[in-house]
Structure 1
Amino acid sequence: MPKGSHRSFAAYSAMVGEADARGRRQLINGPLAYLSQVLVDRTLIGGGTLVLERCYDPAQTLATIEAERITDMFLVEPQLFEIMDHPDVRRRDLSSLRSLAHIGGSSPAILRRRAIARLGPVLTHMYGASEAGLVSALPAASYGTAPELLASAGRVRPGAEVRFRLANGTLARTGQHGKIEVRSRAVAQGYYNQAVESAQKFQDGWCLTGDIGFLDEAGNLHVLGRATDVAEVDGRAIGPTSIEEVLCELPDVRYAAAFAANADANEHGWIAAVEPWDGKRVGVAQCVRALEAALGVFIGNAVRICVVERLPLTEQGKVDRAAISSLGLAPCDMHFRELAE
């Protein structure tokens, strides 16, 4: 079911009516979810060309880029990582592609580097939500000139304000991480017929995203993950990307996804689903040793490893948390706080 966030016609028109899309050939492959609908309208209103596919398929997507000379497209991260590792990447002409936007999940720097190596300097990483609109973007040009930014979601877009709230309710200073709050013309006005949820999510013109992040000294936004997926360990904020980065550096691991093992990572640690390359094997002990070496023994003990043949995905292409959680993994033997003691 859709979330039901709503805006005035004027606010939505401002989101989609300002772009010059002449020369743009936008591929949309799948249901018109929030961002896809915005891209459809921006492309058509701006004078560009739209290519619609009924569903996502990696081989068909690569074939369509070649056949239709696609210049711009959008994928959620698991789809991006599937596309970049598909064998057809080597035989398809992708030279028309100038921007491949990815959003909707964590994207470790090591996987972004692999995507650039396979697809060229075309990645555009965006952070946003259906309620908050588009908040920040790291354009393809920045990927090439400043590779150290691969861990960030880029600069906050003009017209958007971002602040971070600490656990004690006060606002964070630059460099401190906290819950991300956003205010802009693109922020929704509430949830349709959901008064309680609207009051919790939208306050005094600000959208409370529920994500944890911070701004670095250069003004780049770093998103650590959902608040429930981020834990404080010895003064450090450890989120899914920190764990995924370590696991994806293992030579036999193609992809990994981590999230809180229960309602809160501070209480129960994380589950990490690991997908090996075809024909390769990955051992749980091997993954734990890597996490201990990189992040400490405490983190290694707090992550439950699940090796899967393929990471299950939702119909939107995102990692299917419920399916992974149902694979028989129990929560950590001891509560996260008990491990700390």
Structure 2
Amino acid sequence: MTSTASTAGGSTEPAHYAVRVLDRLALSERPVVHWGENVISSSELRAAVLRVVGALAELGVREGSAVAVLTEVNSPWLLATRYAVHLMGATLVAVSGANHGTTTHRLDTETRARMAGECGARVLVHDAAQREEAERIRALLPDGVGMCRLGAPVHGPVSAGDHPVDGPPKGFSPRVPARALVIYTSGSTGRPKGVIKPFAAWNTVVLKETATVTPKVFLAMSAVTHTGGLLVDTAVAAGGSVVLRTGFDPRTLLADIERYRVTDTLMGVPQFYELVNHPDVHRADLSSLRRLLYVGCPASPERVREAVKVFPGVLHHSYGTTETGQIAMLTAADHDVPELLSTVGRPRPGLEVVVQDPATGRELPRGETGEVVVRSPLAMEGYAGDPELTARVLREGWVHTGDYGSLGEDGYLRLSGRMNDVVKVHDTKVHPSEVEKVLVGHRGVIDAHVYAHRRSDLIEELHAAVVLRPDSPPGHEALREHVARVMTPTHAPVRFVRWREFPVNESGKVDRRLVRERGLRAGSADGEPLSAE
């Protein structure tokens, strides 16, 4: 089963990254995936991909179909299913959770069903651990949606309904899908929004990277159904291996680097800070590490300067969004130039980045601050089931990021905040007004105002000022749990300040500036912090 395209030099190379993956897996017998204590060999992963191809074909998946997948977090089955879905020319829709880059929140059944339904999923793929939840989701979907059942990782049986399948149908030939993925990110309201990514975006990155890199060992802590999966696929397609973890723990990460001789990994800026400050970091053998990529938000130059001493020559910082893909990169060499640490790097080749006046749309000259706007072949097609949001964000081929920034004469991009009072918590853009609505929905809250607090290390977090009912007022943990339940844990403020009543300005409206200023230094008579219980 081979799909090739001629190059200008007359040679051939796979035109489909998943074909390249299968070819690499067939070259030699070796460990390719480490998941917990499970070791998946190249032949086992290849056979699993082909069994899933056969099941999808039997269930009627065709070019252009959508396939939903629900498995344990970062299961090897996610890789096998993605390759199989793309070989079928279909689109993958992961309904396991809404991703925040380095954090994945569990979703309820109704939300998962909505995600699969609005993408028109023809089949729901699930593993044994998620069988009951998959059945609940299936009950909420239209008639005719098939079930692909996966056995124990990854050597277990694959079934189309209740019929075991051993491999692809006779004469099967790979197909190239138009759309690779619908990536669900947690929106500002807590309702996941689906970003439609063209196959060309995913395919181009993997094929380009695997043509230039040597085999690597990639450690994945963020969900491999999302952007981190691109780096996983690059490692596998280049003949390397991956270590799949379900979350971030600095001690475990350092032990994994030593044990598996990890060459590359990805983490968010908060996790990056935690790793650099961990006492074990100075005792660990980090000699195998070639690239540590930290993402999600701008980092404190002072903290990065300290980190360069711990991780010399390996630090990279990437700025981008799910909608655009990668926009700019601060390379390892850039990290050795202190004045560049306040930037997010140079825009990547092959895309256009301009800074516009958000009021007029006029392109601004170098050095002036405006909205960062991007046109890229790797950008999204739009949002699933939301043409209104698509029209607001994607205009005439340009993705409007909502980030304020400026391009210097040196070509480096500097970010300076966000539009529309949006707070970026970890990798999630949060509208304070949406959190306020949820807080006021608690029976013990009379009024609430939510605002950003930027710590000295440039990490943003949510704080909230609340006016509580005098009878049985809720405490700190009760308010956090309420927001986390209705939205996600990322949306829950980390600090609450209790007010008797909010101050008003001359127009009779709540003075939000004063509430924030006094709240940040609360402890005075104006506001009393609620202590964590």
Q: TM-score with structure 1 length normalisation?
A: 0.71
Deviates more, 1:194-203 or 1:111-120: 111-120
Equivalent position of 1:162 in the other structure: 353
Q: 1:270 to 1:115 in 2, by over 3 A?
A: farther
Q: 1:269 to 1:177 in 2, by over 3 A?
A: farther
Alpha-carbon distance in structure 1 between the residues aligned to 2:515 and 2:259 = 57
Alpha-carbon distance in structure 2 between the residues aligned to 1:269 and 1:191 = 27
How far the C-alpha of 1:108 sits from its partner, in A, is 1.2
Equivalent position of 1:293 in the other structure: none
Alpha-carbon distance in structure 2 between the residues aligned to 1:338 and 1:67 = 50
Give 2:391's match in structure 1, choosing from 193, 196, 199: 199
Give 1:12's match in structure 2, choosing from 188, 195, 202: 202
Alpha-carbon distance in structure 1 between the residues aligned to 2:384 and 2:417 = 26
Alignment of 1:71 onto 2:263: yes
- Larger Rg over CA atoms: 2
1:1-341 residue pairs with structure 2 within 5 A? 1=98, 2=184, 3-19=193-209, 20-144=212-336, 146-169=337-360, 170-229=362-421, 262=432, 271-272=452-453, 322-324=491-493, 327-328=496-497, 334-336=511-513
Alpha-carbon distance in structure 2 between the residues aligned to 1:261 and 1:22 = 42
Decide whether the 8 Å contact of 1:160 with 1:184 is kept in 2: yes
How far the C-alpha of 1:274 sits from its partner, in A, is 5.2
Alpha-carbon distance in structure 2 between the residues aligned to 1:92 and 1:199 = 49
Alpha-carbon distance in structure 1 between the residues aligned to 2:378 and 2:359 = 28
Alpha-carbon distance in structure 1 between the residues aligned to 2:207 and 2:240 = 12
Deviates more, 1:39-48 or 1:171-180: 39-48
Count of matched residue positions in the alignment of Structure 1 and Structure 2: 278
Partner SS state of residue 18, structure 1: helix
Partner SS state of residue 223, structure 1: strand
- The runs of 5 or more residues in structure 2 that have no matched partner are 1-97, 99-183, 185-192, 435-448, 458-462, 466-475, 504-510, 517-533
- Same amino acid, percent of matched pairs: 31
Across the aligned residues of Structure 1 and Structure 2, the Cα RMSD in angstroms comes to 3.7
How far the C-alpha of 1:167 sits from its partner, in A, is 3.5
Alpha-carbon distance in structure 2 between the residues aligned to 1:131 and 1:329 = 38
Decide whether the 8 Å contact of 1:260 with 1:270 is kept in 2: no
Counterpart residue type for residue 202 of structure 2? Y
Partner SS state of residue 176, structure 1: coil
Alpha-carbon distance in structure 1 between the residues aligned to 2:430 and 2:302 = 22
Alpha-carbon distance in structure 2 between the residues aligned to 1:332 and 1:15 = 51
Counterpart residue type for residue 163 of structure 1? V
Q: TM-score with structure 2 length normalisation?
A: 0.47
Deviates more, 1:5-14 or 1:56-65: 5-14
Alpha-carbon distance in structure 2 between the residues aligned to 1:338 and 1:63 = 45
Q: 1:178 to 1:40 in 2, by over 3 A?
A: same
Q: 1:93 to 1:338 in 2, by over 3 A?
A: closer
How far the C-alpha of 1:23 sits from its partner, in A, is 3.0
Q: Deviations over 1:236-266 (max 9, x none)?
A: xxx99xxxxxxxxxxxxxxx9xx999459xx
Deviates more, 1:86-95 or 1:326-335: 326-335
Counterpart residue type for residue 13 of structure 1? N
Decide whether the 8 Å contact of 1:106 with 1:225 is kept in 2: no
Equivalent position of 1:249 in the other structure: none
- The runs of 5 or more residues in structure 1 that have no matched partner are 231-238, 241-255, 277-302
Alpha-carbon distance in structure 2 between the residues aligned to 1:275 and 1:203 = 36
Decide whether the 8 Å contact of 1:18 with 1:46 is kept in 2: no
Counterpart residue type for residue 345 of structure 2? G
Alpha-carbon distance in structure 1 between the residues aligned to 2:456 and 2:300 = 15
Decide whether the 8 Å contact of 1:21 with 1:46 is kept in 2: yes
Alpha-carbon distance in structure 1 between the residues aligned to 2:456 and 2:396 = 43
Alpha-carbon distance in structure 2 between the residues aligned to 1:332 and 1:156 = 44
Q: Deviations over 1:219-243 (max 9, x none)?
A: 001122322458xxxxxxxx99xxx
Deviates more, 1:111-120 or 1:208-217: 111-120
Counterpart residue type for residue 496 of structure 2? L
Q: 1:191 to 1:65 in 2, by over 3 A?
A: same
Q: Deviations over 1:38-68 (max 9, x none)?
A: 1111222223322212222111001111111
